[in-house]
Structure 1
Amino acid sequence: MMRYIAPVRMLAQYIPMAASNYMGKNVKEFTKELMVVIPKYIQAALDHPENGRVFADIIGSELLPEEEKTMYRLSGEGFGLLAAGTETTAATLTVITYYLLAQPTAYSRLLAALKGVDPLNLKWTDLEQRPYLYAVIHEALRFTPGATHRSSRIARDEDLVYTSKDGQVRWVIPRGTPIGMTSVINHSNEEIFPDPDEYTPERWIKEGQPNYALEKSIISFGKGSRSCIGMQYVKPLPFIVLASKI
């Protein structure tokens, strides 16, 4: 609602903490994080910029206009970093846990794939070479697409030209036109992922090796210049957690 209705989004900054107490636990926690916890970190960055806090770099950067360096704007950026770095990974691990317990065959295959792994001496270079572990995680990423809303993009300098598969229809989207789609639609495309409602790690393995070509159809982290800035740091986490716990 806040994303698509601008007046509601603008009013959110004026909701006092006292009012949030009557709006449910989730709203209360959200409001507290946005209006109390994160502003404290921002203020600490202002008071002690030498401590190397991320907000100190943002506030001191010339890339962000001065009029946008408000407490409200920076709190929003901070909440975005917090949500993107915690909820997404937690959701992926939740999906993996459920389906491994619901599908004992997949669980057994993963145990076999992790045979010989020392949970106290994990090496990322070793874990990424285990095809079934790769498959379990990428199938979970397909089920947990990160941002479920439309990811808007604008081609500012060129018209976009699309042709149907049979070559009979051609579309031209004028430059400057906002377009968007949800990752859920792409991840549920039966032409790319047969039986999309089924959790099937095997689809990610081809001739005994990870099916890296299929990764082109996964947009959990977005694509291109606007993709997730923390993808290379977050992506290994499920590998490490699974190998250490299973």
Structure 2
Amino acid sequence: MWTLIGLLLGTVHVAFAAVYLYLTWFHGYWTKRGLVTAKPLTLLGSYPGLFGGGSSFIEDIGKIYNKYKGKQRAVGTFLTRKPQILVLDPQLAHEVLVTKFSDYRDTVTSSYVTHSKDDYDKYVARNPFFSAGDEWKKRRTDGGAGLTPNRLKQAYAIWEQTGEMLVNYMQRCIEERHSNIIETRDLCYRYTAQAMGDFIWGIDAGSLSGSPNETSSFQRFSMNWVSHAFLSMPRFNRTPIAPIVRKLFRMRFFTQESNDFYLKLTRDAAKLRQSGCGGERSDYLAHLMQLQEKGASLDDLVGHALTVLMDGFETSAAVLYHMLYTLGACPEQQEKLRSEILNALAADKHISYEQLNALPYLDQCINESMRMTSVIGFFIKICTRPTTIDLGNDKILKVEPGITVAIPSYQLHHDETYFPQPDEFRPERFDNGAASEFTKRGCLLAFGDGPRICLGMRVGLLNVKMALLRILSEFKVEQTKKLSLSSDSGLGMYLNGDVDLRYTRIKLSK
């Protein structure tokens, strides 16, 4: 009996020792290579927030960043048990993203879907954000060709119409509910659903034409689709501890239900366009038809469509409701922006594509809002070929292929060294084209930088600018309550709770 108990205890002891060795085996990796190491906080690495414990991944990054910034260009950390480099110097961030891009070509998200390929998560595997190497380059080239400034200019009427639908919906919402307080998160998703449904598939999404108490099927599917994808990110961020679990549990970003929905939508839209309906439109569907003529499969078309939807629906809406929330507490900046907009609008309230993109204070406000909220709070690149990092003080670090490099954009955006009083909304920071200079310095990374800069940046900005133009030319915006920020999505910082803003019709002098 006692022998059996002793054997069991010995087995348990050995098992625990094996697990301990497995989790901590690499914890001396950076010390041996001469890189200052942020001591792992737990057996699970430098970021306990990945596994709960009252913090988040971005908050854990912030603790390390604040401890070592100004002292080191980079420090060694561990994503679970996997060695990682945390960049602290914005110039090094620029080096990784731009000047040495070929050395850090891939992103950590591309490693998350290598088990998917063409079976159950085939559309996420076709998204450049989740692609690597030459596949990434081809998919980005093919998909991005439909998002050029000239293409968007040709499709500009879609946003003009959607902007009008937005303010009409807002007025109808106020009248039907007898209240000028509108939950603005839902409002922004309705707007971007309408714009993207029209631009990508040539459909009326129904999100702005129906009752405020109803949600169209397109908006509902798109909300569920993007929610599942973003909430899956923290789960995938934990998997470096045992990558095999991705395959064992068939982990996926997109559900089969959403795959079926968008496959049918794309197939039906393509057939309708091929029949001649809407053949004169210069939208993204027209671009998809051109790709099909060059040999792209239907699955390829769905993948491209969902790539644009990811940026144009979810991210654009997040930027928009965060900015409206911020402007609701900044009446002086709001009035200055409104004056610029009203001065630019013609008597018939028309503004051209070029004029909209040439409003300087609008650009400043958007850049400042994106700096403050950072809907993408970090970037993680993968070293793709042997390279080096100059650590300063005559120290050169050799970086091996497969090592990940984290760039803490949220912390850079809130570092008072680069942005004094970082928690204040001060659009004048970006006066006289300063945004491009901040980006070159590695301090402003709202869209990332370099060849893998956000593919949907232009369409996203067009979404946001048109909505702000129409809303602020018709309504005064005010906050009704203060909200906190969190990073539950696993990617960036988002407002918690309902974004209830008060919209009051403005009276313009004749």
Whether 1:170 and 2:398 are equivalent positions in the alignment is: no
Against the structure 1 CA distance between its residues 75 and 112, is the aligned structure 2 distance closer, same or farther, given a 3 Å change threshold? closer
- Contact 2:383 2:399 survives alignment (8 Å): no
After TM superposition, the structure 1 stretch with the greater mean CA deviation from structure 2, 189-198 or 100-109, is 189-198
1:222 partner SS: coil
Residue of structure 2 equivalent to 1:107? 334
2:429 aligned with 1:194: no
Deviation at 1:187, TM superposition (A): 1.6
Do residues 136 (structure 1) and 362 (structure 2) align? Answer: no
Kept in 1: contact 2:376–2:446 (CA 8 A): yes
Asked whether 1:161 is paired with 2:360, we answer no
1:50 Cα offset (Å): 5.8
Question: Deviation above 4 Å: which 4+ runs of structure 1?
Answer: 42-53, 73-80
1:21 corresponds in structure 2 to none
Letter paired with 2:388 = L
Match of 1:11 in 2: 250
Secondary structure in structure 2 of the residue aligned to 1:114 = helix
The structure-2 alpha-carbon separation of the partners of 1:160 and 1:75, relative to structure 1 and needing over 3 Å to count, comes to farther
Change (3 A) 1:48 1:245: closer
Paired AA for residue 91 in structure 1: A
Alignment: residue pair count: 216
Secondary structure of the structure 2 residue equivalent to 1:162: strand
Query: Structure 1 CA distance, aligned partners of 2:260 and 2:289?
Result: 15
Match of 1:34 among 250, 258, 273: 258
Structure 1, residues 141-169: CA drift from partner, whole Å, max 9, x if none?
A: 2134343353323242x5132244xxx36
Shift of 1:203: 1.2
| Alpha-carbon contact 2:364-2:428 (below 8 Å) kept | yes
Match for 2:295 among 19, 37, 60? 60
- Is the Cα–Cα contact under 8 Å of residues 387 and 400 in structure 2 kept in the other structure? yes
Q: Distance in 2 between matches of 1:211 and 1:180?
A: 25
Between structure 1 and structure 2, the one with the greater Rg is 2
Q: Does 1:245 align with 2:471?
A: yes
TM-score (norm 2): 0.36
Cα distance per residue 1:30-88 (max 9 Å; x no partner)? 74763431232465589899686739947934xxxxxxx897x9877754432222111
Whether the 8 Å contact between 2:388 and 2:399 is mirrored in structure 1 is: yes
8 Å Cα contact 1:95/1:143 also seen in 2: no
What is the match of residue 352 of structure 2? Answer: 123
Q: In 2, are the aligned partners of 1:145 and 1:184 still within 8 Å (CA)?
A: yes
User: What is the match of residue 214 of structure 1?
Assistant: 438
Partners of 1:88 and 1:146 within 8 A in 2:
yes
Distance 1:79 1:204, change over 3 A: same
> Tell me, what secondary structure is at the counterpart of 1:60?
coil
How much does 1:137 deviate?
0.8
TM-score (norm 1): 0.69
Q: Distance in 2 between matches of 1:34 and 1:169?
A: 53
Farther-moved stretch of structure 1 (2-11 vs 195-204): 2-11
Assess, with a 3 A threshold, how the Cα gap between structure 1 residues 46 and 109 changes in structure 2: closer, same or farther.
closer
Equivalent residues of 1:91, 1:144 under 8 A apart: no
User: Helix, strand or coil: the match of 2:454?
Assistant: coil
SS at match of 1:172: strand
CA distance in 2 between partners of 1:197 and 1:155 (Å): 36
1:236 Cα offset (Å): 3.2
The CA RMSD over aligned residues, in Å, is: 3.7
Q: State the one-letter code of the partner of 1:235.
A: L
Match of 1:233 among 459, 467, 473: 459
- In 1, Cα distance between the equivalents of 2:272 and 2:324? 42
In structure 2, distance between residues paired with 1:3 and 1:55: 34
**Equivalent AA in structure 2 for residue 179 of structure 1:** V
* AA partner of residue 39 (structure 1): L
Deviation digits for residues 73-105 of structure 1 (CA, Å, limit 9, x no counterpart): 987775443222211111111111111111111
Call closer, same or farther: CA 1:42–1:132 in 2, change over 3 Å: closer
- Structure 2 unmatched runs, 5+: 1-233, 276-285, 473-510
Q: Compare 190-199 and 94-103 and name the one that shifted more.
A: 190-199
SS of 1:102's equivalent in the other structure is coil
Contact persistence 1:142–1:220 (CA under 8 A): yes
Change (3 A) 1:169 1:94: farther
Specify whether residues 44 and 147 from structure 1 end up closer, same or farther in structure 2 by C-alpha distance, changes over 3 A only: farther
Separation (CA, whole Å) in 1 of partners of 2:414 and 2:357? 25
Contact 1:45 1:55 in 2 (8 A): no
Opposite residue 404 of structure 2, the aligned amino acid is P
Alpha carbons 1:124, 1:240 under 8 Å: kept: no
Q: Which residue of 1 aligns with 2:104?
A: none
Kindly provide the amino acid, as one letter, of the partner of residue 40 in structure 1.
Answer: K
Q: Aligned partners of 2:326, 2:251: CA distance in 1, in Å?
A: 37
**Does the CA contact (< 8 Å) of 2:312 and 2:463 recur in 1?**
no
CA distance in 2 between partners of 1:111 and 1:189 (Å):
29
